[in-house]
Structure 1
Amino acid sequence: MSSGPPATSPGSLTGTDSALRTAGDRAARVRFRRAVALMLITLVLPGSAQLVAGNRRVGRIALRIWIVLVVTTLGALALGLVWSGFTFWLVSDPRVLGLLRVLLMVLAVGWAALFMDAWRIGQPLTLSAQHRRAVVGVNGLLSLSVAGTLLFSAHVVGVQRDFMIAMFGDGEATGAHDGRYNVLLLGGDSGAGRWGLRPDSLTVASIDADTGRTVLIGLPRNMAQFPFAEGSVMDRQFPHGFDCEGCYLNGVSTWAEDHTGLFGKSDTPGVDATIMAVEGITGLELNYWAMVNLEGFKNLVDAVGGVTLKVRAPIPVGGLGSDVTGYIEPGVRKLDGHDTLWFARSREGSDDYSRMARQKCVMSAMLQQVSPQVALRNFQDIAQASSEMLSTDIPSSEVDRFIDLALKARSQRVASLSLVPPMINTGDPDIDLVQEKVAAAIDRAAGQAPPPSDQRKKPRAVTGGSLGSLSEGYAANQSDDVGSAC
């Protein structure tokens, strides 16, 4: 009896079955690699998966849009590197920011849709369960990563746009006066009933329109018997100067707020009246103003990571009608927002003029130490702190100009002139002398006048943390280089 081929045991494979299984595995791996490749090329060249294996018309449209976006982005980066003004305009114009935000959101949705279509083209139902799960994971990771990044970018752009709209006005830009922009900086407390009413700090930043070279002109809040800009509303009310009982410079705003009918439909009669006073005192024509909330300033300092200052004597924390809770000790220190604010505003054991000198030191340090890299790294915190800190009439169309000037100013010395004793009698100021000093300080900053004869004299005393004293003057109040005087 002949014997046939051996019987195949259950579960074993013949050579043919094994070959078929091997070929099937190879085909499954090919389909899996193809599905993953379609998603990866969508990451690099959106629309390419559709050109290869899907709707070619959709692929062509997507790829053309992508090429245009890449070329435009590279062109914008190149232009920004050679012309900083373009970059500043790009990040400060609300219309451009609004368009960019919408574009980023549309791009996020469109790119995610292309990933989903690439997943469909990869025919996931033909894959094994293990490969199908892997493809779903890869697709989800890529689409969520790309869309999430774009949507977060749209959020950041939206924050910047909202900041620009909330912070800056839409008024008309004004040209430079005698080659300079003059901006009045007002500092006020945010306590109940005080915001915007009685500014504790008044400084004119006179900025060269070409070089950015800046002169900080400080005006004492207790100045009296001063004139207003000729022909102004306040000049008509006080033709012989602000000579009422107990009337000081920081009270002009309060007086105007009590007589708003004199200022028509103005939303800021207090600021308007203060500008009239500052123009009358200094002889300068002001372009814009900015009101700084001192409590908001504290948050701004924290947002940029603190500011390094040379503390020359213990600075009381507290006072001003409350208890002293501690001291900022002498030395070169990196101060947080709380201590920087007290360094700038403390009057305990000191006087207004020492405080003005310390405020100049803070302004100079902030200008020198807050770099574009720091601003970019802390963008959202700075935007939030600034919106709480500042109100201004600088139009958004001028922001790029002032950013450019600020960057130029970082590489130059900042000069200061404070209209305080012993040079000026704040109770009865010689306005001709005041305006002569202002003009001389600006001419020196512009390189059109020699330094004053006493420029080399160094104060010997230290009062309230500032070099100098009330009798001999404070170094940072009268200097062609505030940084070195601090």
Structure 2
Amino acid sequence: MGRRRRLTESPSRPRSTTRALLWTAASAVLPGVAHLRAGRRLAGTVILACYLLLVAALVAGVLVLRDNLVLSATLATQDHWLLIAGIGSFAVAVLWMTVVVHSYAVTRPERSGWGGRIAAGVVVTALCLAVAAPAAAVGYASYTAYDLSNTLFGAAQEPHDDADPWNGQDRVNVLLLGGDAGKNRYGMRTDTMIVASIDVETGDVVLIGLPRNLENVPFPEGTALAERYPAPYGFDNLLNEVYQTVSEDPALAINPYASDPGADTLKQVIGFALDLDIDYYALVDMQGFEDIIDAIGGIRVYLEEPLPYGQRGEYIDAGWQTLDGREALWYGRTRVNSDDYSRMGRQGCLIKYVAEQAAPATLLTSFRSLAAAAKSTLRTDIPQPKLPHFVELAEKASSADMETLQLSPPQVNTAYPDWEHIRALVRGALSDAPQASPSPSASASAEGVPGAEGAAETPGQTEWQEYTGLPEPTPDSPGRQVGDEAAALDELCP
């Protein structure tokens, strides 16, 4: 009888607080083992089985998401999935901490001094914090993504179909704007204006750069801007002043109900001027651009010669350099010993470098700082349902062909632009059709003007030599494109 009684009795508790804490620590790594040690077989088995199922589900989820970029982006950008992730991580943390506390409760010795109890309380609390930390990180990341998604991206204004996110379009066009709103400047000028036209199948990109000093920009008929600035002379300021003009007088906005009427109007104005449907815009404050570059760990560039910048005689050394946010900003904006068009070229190179070097793993590890920088410096009208598909496009573009067409001299005269000729250049860059030749009106109207379209070339000289009078056949500044055909950034950017 005595032997039979001993077989049915529960295992004895550990005799010391140290052993009990060791079993409790083991339960923090493998929940349920402390309960099994204490003879709570049903509870221990259920806890351990739930834990193993959770681990298996997480591993399976990682394997599924690893090769499905759209699904990963959908989970990371849609509100309901972010809320599920946050609530789920909180629930797991609470349950896990409960298991840790109960593990010590079922294994602690029946008698323990005050010193042992205090030590046990400290250790169990530390274990609870340790198991809660990953869940807290997941919850915080979910909240950050939720806040960023709802702050920057709005609801779709048109029907959205995940099976056909681009509504049958071959290309999606996004206007990239860099706003220069320095402390010593009034308002904001969009000195950087680039239309990124992306092939939705291949990810190939054509960057159409518009100089800040384009004049006589035409406005869509029937708009308040067209009435205020009628043809033939049109707008009496530079293209980079359109945003601030609308901001100062909202009555001029094409859509006054847009989240940013100035940016939305500039998008529609540039689309009309280029005869191109521009789907979305993204406006980045150039000062905040520093934070974004710092968040992704900087960018690596090659300079054939030192690049001067600022008013203090500073410069970026020649050779391979990893630029931080401040240096990258100056790389894209300096005009010391150069001009607007050389700066445009370097900005195209910047886009190429960021697209190639901003790896998904880097973006994930720096998500918090990147989200904070984007929230304070980025404005866009890209709707939330489109985000996963833009992530997929960005992934394609990172390894696809990237070309640039800069609407700058010598192919375009910025003071006397021939907009029909400019539209022909854009059509040619975005199609496989032969490039259009300069229009007769361009040659006649711009005769005698340096850098005008249609200027006659001297036999044996390149367009660049004819335009500049220099012996070099091509520009030596990074990214500077010359000619009526779009050029590959791989060839223009070191």
> How far off is 1:40 after superposition?
2.2
Of 140, 147, 170, the match for 2:132: 147
3-state secondary structure, aligned to 1:437:
helix
> How far off is 1:359 after superposition?
0.7
> How far off is 1:361 after superposition?
0.9
* Equivalent pair of 1:253/1:271 in contact (CA under 8 Å): yes
> How far off is 1:398 after superposition?
1.5
Counterpart of 2:145 in structure 1 is 160
CA deviation vs aligned residue, 1:432-457 (integer Å, no higher than 9, x gap)? 221111122122xxxx3579999xx8
Residues 202-213 of structure 1 aligned to structure 2 (within 5 Å)? 202-213=193-204
Question: Residues of 1 paired with 2:155 and 2:95: CA distance?
Answer: 34
CA deviation vs aligned residue, 1:255-314 (integer Å, no higher than 9, x gap)? 222331344434422212212220122111111111111111112212222211222343
Counterpart of 2:288 in structure 1 is 296
**Cα distance 1:185–1:361, how it changes in 2: closer, same or farther (>3 A)?**
same
Is 1:309 the counterpart of 2:301 in the alignment? yes
3-state secondary structure, aligned to 1:125:
coil
Counterpart of 1:388 in structure 2 is 376
Question: Residues of 1 paired with 2:233 and 2:129: CA distance?
Answer: 65
> How far off is 1:33 after superposition?
4.8
**Cα distance 1:339–1:31, how it changes in 2: closer, same or farther (>3 A)?**
closer
Is 1:273 the counterpart of 2:265 in the alignment? yes
* Equivalent pair of 1:254/1:270 in contact (CA under 8 Å): yes
* Equivalent pair of 2:85/2:138 in contact (CA under 8 Å): no
Question: Residues of 1 paired with 2:181 and 2:87: CA distance?
Answer: 36
Aligned partner letter, 2:411: M
**Cα distance 1:130–1:276, how it changes in 2: closer, same or farther (>3 A)?**
closer
Aligned partner letter, 2:129: L
**Cα distance 1:110–1:51, how it changes in 2: closer, same or farther (>3 A)?**
farther
> How far off is 1:154 after superposition?
1.7
3-state secondary structure, aligned to 1:124:
coil
Counterpart of 1:374 in structure 2 is 362
> How far off is 1:380 after superposition?
1.9
**Cα distance 1:475–1:430, how it changes in 2: closer, same or farther (>3 A)?**
closer
Residues 77-156 of structure 1 aligned to structure 2 (within 5 Å)? 77-126=62-111, 139-156=124-141
Counterpart of 1:23 in structure 2 is none
Counterpart of 1:6 in structure 2 is none
Counterpart of 1:199 in structure 2 is 190
Of 274, 281, 284, the match for 2:276: 284
Counterpart of 1:5 in structure 2 is none
Question: Residues of 2 paired with 1:181 and 1:79: CA distance?
Answer: 28
State which drifts further: 119-128 or 406-415: 119-128
Question: Residues of 1 paired with 2:17 and 2:210: CA distance?
Answer: 77
Question: Residues of 1 paired with 2:13 and 2:283: CA distance?
Answer: 71
Question: Residues of 2 paired with 1:346 and 1:32: CA distance?
Answer: 65
* Equivalent pair of 1:476/1:482 in contact (CA under 8 Å): no
Question: Residues of 2 paired with 1:477 and 1:379: CA distance?
Answer: 40
> How far off is 1:242 after superposition?
5.8
* Equivalent pair of 1:357/1:475 in contact (CA under 8 Å): no
Question: Residues of 2 paired with 1:163 and 1:315: CA distance?
Answer: 36
> How far off is 1:144 after superposition?
2.2
Aligned partner letter, 1:250: N
> How far off is 1:132 after superposition?
6.4
Counterpart of 2:337 in structure 1 is 349
CA deviation vs aligned residue, 1:19-62 (integer Å, no higher than 9, x gap)? xxxxxxx9855997577436524532459828974595x76875
* Equivalent pair of 1:169/1:394 in contact (CA under 8 Å): yes
* Equivalent pair of 1:313/1:330 in contact (CA under 8 Å): yes
* Equivalent pair of 2:20/2:109 in contact (CA under 8 Å): no
Question: Residues of 1 paired with 2:232 and 2:80: CA distance?
Answer: 45
Of 32, 37, 60, the match for 1:75: 60
Counterpart of 1:432 in structure 2 is 420
State which drifts further: 278-287 or 236-245: 236-245
Aligned partner letter, 1:170: A
Aligned partner letter, 2:356: Q
3-state secondary structure, aligned to 1:468:
coil
**Cα distance 1:477–1:134, how it changes in 2: closer, same or farther (>3 A)?**
farther
Aligned partner letter, 2:29: L
> How far off is 1:381 after superposition?
2.0
Of 219, 241, 246, the match for 2:210: 219
Is 1:182 the counterpart of 2:173 in the alignment? yes
Counterpart of 1:19 in structure 2 is none
Question: Residues of 2 paired with 1:183 and 1:379: CA distance?
Answer: 23
Aligned partner letter, 2:192: S
**Cα distance 1:94–1:143, how it changes in 2: closer, same or farther (>3 A)?**
same
Counterpart of 1:441 in structure 2 is 429
> How far off is 1:160 after superposition?
2.5
**Cα distance 1:132–1:244, how it changes in 2: closer, same or farther (>3 A)?**
closer
* Equivalent pair of 1:180/1:206 in contact (CA under 8 Å): yes
Of 313, 318, 335, the match for 1:330: 318
Aligned partner letter, 1:37: W
* Equivalent pair of 1:195/1:293 in contact (CA under 8 Å): no
Cα RMSD (Å) = 3.6
Runs of 4+ residues deviating >6 angstroms:
58-61, 128-134, 450-454, 457-461
Q: Which consecutive residues of structure 1, in runs of 5 or more, have no partner in the other structure? A: 1-25
3-state secondary structure, aligned to 1:332:
strand
* Equivalent pair of 1:206/1:215 in contact (CA under 8 Å): yes
Q: Which consecutive residues of structure 2, in runs of 5 or more, have no partner in the other structure? A: 1-11, 161-165, 438-456
Counterpart of 1:49 in structure 2 is 35
3-state secondary structure, aligned to 1:183:
strand
Question: Residues of 2 paired with 1:431 and 1:65: CA distance?
Answer: 67
State which drifts further: 273-282 or 413-422: 273-282
> How far off is 1:90 after superposition?
1.4
3-state secondary structure, aligned to 1:199:
strand
**Cα distance 1:242–1:382, how it changes in 2: closer, same or farther (>3 A)?**
farther
CA deviation vs aligned residue, 1:70-128 (integer Å, no higher than 9, x gap)? 34423321221232211111112233112211221222122111111111111433468
CA deviation vs aligned residue, 1:192-250 (integer Å, no higher than 9, x gap)? 486873211111111111221111111111111232245555345445266243x2211
Counterpart of 2:440 in structure 1 is none
> How far off is 1:326 after superposition?
1.5
Question: Residues of 1 paired with 2:366 and 2:172: CA distance?
Answer: 28
Q: Which has the larger radius of gyration?
A: 1
> How far off is 1:333 after superposition?
1.7
3-state secondary structure, aligned to 2:475:
strand
Aligned partner letter, 2:276: L
> How far off is 1:176 after superposition?
5.2
**Cα distance 1:358–1:73, how it changes in 2: closer, same or farther (>3 A)?**
same
* Equivalent pair of 1:476/1:485 in contact (CA under 8 Å): no
Q: How many residues align?
A: 444
Counterpart of 2:7 in structure 1 is none
> How far off is 1:406 after superposition?
0.8
Counterpart of 2:251 in structure 1 is 261
